[in-house]
A and B are shown apart, each in its own frame.
Chain A
């Protein structure tokens, strides 16, 4: 089963993302911040990381760079979530090595489609 890691500091958002991904198709892991997420990534090697950009501590973009700096994790797909739809955030995410970008608020189907698309590319 495909492992998906959800990283968001808001519980409501994590629940929404988790429920958006159909049960049975994905093995969903959750993390509250970048540090927890990094531990989980190293442990579980998720295929997809759904990553909130704005978090206390390390931001999603910083975590993206960390992931990309690891050679063994080059296959990990990263979907960035941000409330800011500005170009510079998008650009920063692309440069850091994110694969896709989704602006909040999003619908569950949008998210599901985005994750599915990332996995198809794999």
Chain B
């Protein structure tokens, strides 16, 4: 945006700020010319030295802004500005502010007017803050320049408040006028932003105090700024991570993360872990011959197959193209090879049906296998080993498995299909069970953390060793306290109170990590106690911390005693080392105190080894492993905390209580840093655990829901079934009653005629004939109906025996009788096998079909009865050259009371139950029945099959009472 594009009001405002800043700078120059400078307390050489140092440090700090959301940036140069406000002359301050912003100008290259405006705003704010500082400090302290005076601190606080306020208001107004963003929506006024700046400014005040001691000590005090810088930047790093998570690459990245985690777990617990690389063979050929869409399909389908072949806690991901990586936790090489071959076979035996080929594609994979048991291995090593194993498998002809022992690779010959030269593939039994979730987590503990709970039961010897250790530590600490008891009353009560409050504050704000560990910055006050008050003070302060922590958690008494004792010992050790090393270094100036400070921190840090030892007793894992996993990361934290403790001690000694207070804020800031760190490393585990819990809950919910659905479905089904039964029964009753009433009505009518009328002989004969027919019809109807009813309710007893179908067919043809117009032709092969069947029922079926064929061939025609063997079945076909069947009737032919309704077959009598009975009988034999016809007038074929081995496939065995035949017993 160019200056001309700004709204008129904004332009005027910006120009006014320029003018004001220029005016102030001019006044300052005039003031400097008349010798009204304020850095009178130090000599001119020292003043120049300080100015140069602050300028350099501020410029450096300003060059690394932390950009956060909302186009806002934090600058850790802020504390140096405070130093400038407090200690530099107005001209120097103006130069400092202008120079630092000029550095930013070179770096960021916004519009010129914006940079100039920033400079002007800083200069104005700085000048005003300095004015306020001078005013307040002079009126409150009557001109003395003793920074330990509370009045000076008040002045400093007022000055930094003025500085922050003026700068913010100036910038916010410009943004409002220039961009139209109201101050409420500007991130500058969020609590986080204000708080961050407040902490930075208070740190500046502390540094200004240190600068009075010596410019180099101020630089020492700046070290926490690095931490703060990191803490501010961490949310950005996290945002970046989650952004990456959206891309394909991050899938692989997270897979590698998981691999790394599993590897470290494997190393820690001595458990096996294996990695498979599965690669599609000749994917390029598939792509070339069938196109990439087919290739993609093969890739997808293979992914699905592999996923099916993995256990639920295996982790699979597609690496690239047709390559998949599968991590098998808790899996030794034997099981991993078995799993790999299982996958290889799953793919090789799977028919890939693709649109471009009639035949399913044959796809194979080559698999590389590598595994580690309990020794250290990097993810890259494991990947490289697996990759080379895969390459060897490819080179030796594909569709096989390459195995890498982490030292050297060998290729196994292609395993035979039954896996004879492989260890037996027993999925689920040869592999170990799913790992316990509690073990997968890297439990981050620190400092004097309470060791995790002891395993319950069976661990008595271990527990007694833990108790013994705790007792030893406690006794040593108690002895130490007793030794120093005499010195305790002489301790400076103010410093003691300050440090105890600090400990209490940091312990009550301790970060909970997992159930049994936490992180706090209480090391800083404990170490400061050692530096400031000597061993007795350190002992007292250390003793205070643990009860506060213990109040937050229920813990065993010996653990508490152990922790208190250990902390006392560590604090005393640190204090003693500090005292011992400090003495010879004192003459060289305060800056050299950093050496004993760091040493004290290190000595204090060593107590984590003892904690690790205690934990190793419980976890039954090597001390070194526990320490490396839980405490190694804490070393820098302890170093910084010891530095802060040193600054705290120095500040208290030089400036009293208020000076020390200024360093509490940065120490507490460490908690924030640690929180970010913990959130990042431990967050993953927490997330996993939460996901796990959620998953378990979902599974439980789903199981419950499924149960409920099943119950409802059963209820609904039974209700529906009952309704259906009622409906069918009603329908049946109406059909049956009609079908029966008609012949019955006729019988009654004829009887009445015979009784009441004077009929001729012929009429009488006609009557009786019809009565006989109707009676017969009624009887067969009732028989058929009862037959069907029995069969449908499975009450029909079948006598299964080997039946010679040819003989049966001949007998049925004889029973059916002669009909010269409709002769029955038998078409029987000589070697028909006997069929397990009920001969009477089979006869019923054949008679029914034959009589149907004759009935529906009113104009005559051959009836053909053919029997042949088809595979494990015998097929029987009855074919006629009669009326044929309309296509729409065929699906209903075997329904009860279904009649093909047209005039030419209306005269044909029938109960409408014959084919329904046929179907029941055939199905009860485990066969199938169907009808075919080329259409009306084209004749019909009725076919049924019977299985050669009796298997009433569609009938539960219990529903077919079978009598003593071998088949029946076999069934």
Contact = CB atoms under 8 A, between A and B. Distances in A.
A93 B902 CA distance: 22
Given A16-B753, A19-B757, A108-B756, A83 B746 contact: no
B628 interface: no
A15 B906 contact: no
Interface string B905-926: 0110000000000000000000
A105 B903 contact: no
A80 to B, nearest CB: 16
A15 B766 contact: yes
Contacts of B738: 83
Nearest to A14: B770
Nearest to B734: A84
Contact of A83 (B742, B750, B774): B742
Contacts, number: 66
B752 A109 contact: yes
Contacts of B756: 108-109
Contacts of A72: none
B720 interface: no
A105 B743 CA distance: 9
Interface in A52-68: 55-57
A44 interface: no
The listed residue with most A CB atoms (<10 A of its CB), out of B749, B767, B902, is: B749
A108 B745 CA distance: 10
Contact of A57 (B749, B760, B903): B903
Contact of A56 (B753, B763, B774, B902): B902
A19 B763 contact: yes
Contacts of B741: 83, 104-105
Interface string B213-232: 00000000000000000000
Contacts of A57: 902-903
Interface in A5-36: 9-13, 15-16, 19-20, 22-23, 32-33
Contact of B906 (A16, A20, A56, A83): A56
A111 B774 CA distance: 20
A122 interface: no
Interface string B871-910: 0000000000000000000000000000001110011000
B767 A19 contact: yes
A108 B773 contact: no
Contacts of B753: 16, 19-20, 108
Contacts of A19: 750, 753, 757, 759, 763, 766-767
A107 interface: yes
Nearest to A16: B749
A56 B907 CA distance: 10
Given A105-B749, A108-B753, A109-B752, A15 B770 contact: yes
Interface in A71-99: 83
Contacts of A83: 738, 741-742
Bin the interface of chain A by size.
Answer: 20 to 34
Contacts of A33: 903, 906
A37 to B, nearest CB: 13
B744 interface: yes
B30 interface: no
Contacts of B475: none
Given A106-B745, A107-B752, A15 B903 contact: no
Nearest to B903: A56
B748 interface: yes
B749 A20 contact: yes
A56 B904 CA distance: 9
Contacts of B901: 56
Contact of A104 (B742, B757, B767, B907): B742
Given A56-B901, A104-B741, A9 B907 contact: yes
Nearest to B746: A12
Contact of B770 (A9, A12, A23, A107): A12
Give the secondary structure class of B's interface. Answer: helix
Given A15-B766, A108-B756, A9 B749 contact: no
A16 B741 CA distance: 15
Contacts of B746: 12-13, 16, 105
Given A19-B753, A56-B903, A108-B756, A12 B774 contact: yes
Contacts of B907: 9, 11, 32
Contacts of B906: 9, 33, 55-56
A11 B759 CA distance: 18
Nearest to B760: A23
A56 B748 CA distance: 25
A70 B766 CA distance: 36
Nearest to A104: B745
Contacts of A105: 741-742, 744-746, 748-749
A98 B718 CA distance: 47
Nearest to B744: A105
B767 A15 contact: yes
Contacts of A15: 766-767, 770
Nearest to A107: B752
B902 A16 contact: no
A16 B770 CA distance: 9
A107 B747 CA distance: 10
Contacts of A22: 757
Contacts of B773: 12
Contacts of A104: 741-742, 745
Contacts of B749: 16, 20, 105-108
Contacts of B748: 105, 107
A22 B756 CA distance: 11
Nearest to B741: A105
A106 B753 CA distance: 12
Contacts of A109: 752, 756
B883 to A, nearest CB: 13
A81 to B, nearest CB: 11
A20 B745 CA distance: 13
A79 B766 CA distance: 24
Interface in B754-772: 756-757, 759-760, 763, 766-767, 770
Nearest to A35: B903
B593 to A, nearest CB: 112
Contacts of A9: 903, 906-907
Contacts of B742: 10, 83, 104-105
A55 B745 CA distance: 18
A10 B753 CA distance: 18
A106 to B, nearest CB: 7
Contacts of A23: 760
Q: Which of A22, A83, A106, A108 has the most CB of B within 10 A?
A: A108
Nearest to B737: A83
Nearest to B899: A56
A105 to B, nearest CB: 2
A16 B738 CA distance: 18
B925 to A, nearest CB: 35
Contact of B757 (A12, A13, A56, A108): A108
A100 B742 CA distance: 20
Contacts of A12: 743, 746, 770, 773-774
A104 B739 CA distance: 12
Nearest to A57: B903
Contacts of B903: 9, 33, 56-57
Interface of A: 9-13, 15-16, 19-20, 22-23, 32-33, 55-57, 83, 104-109
- Per CB-CB distance, the 8 closest pairs between chain A and chain B, nearest first, are A105-B745, A56-B903, A56-B906, A12-B770, A16-B749, A57-B903, A12-B746, A19-B753
20 contacts: A11-B770, A12-B770, A12-B773, A16-B750, A19-B753, A19-B763, A19-B767, A22-B757, A23-B760, A32-B907, A56-B906, A57-B902, A83-B742, A104-B741, A105-B741, A106-B749, A107-B748, A107-B752, A108-B757, A109-B752
Given A19-B750, A19-B757, A108-B752, 16 more contacts: A9-B903, A9-B907, A11-B907, A12-B746, A16-B746, A16-B750, A19-B759, A19-B766, A20-B753, A33-B903, A55-B906, A83-B738, A104-B745, A105-B748, A108-B756, A109-B752
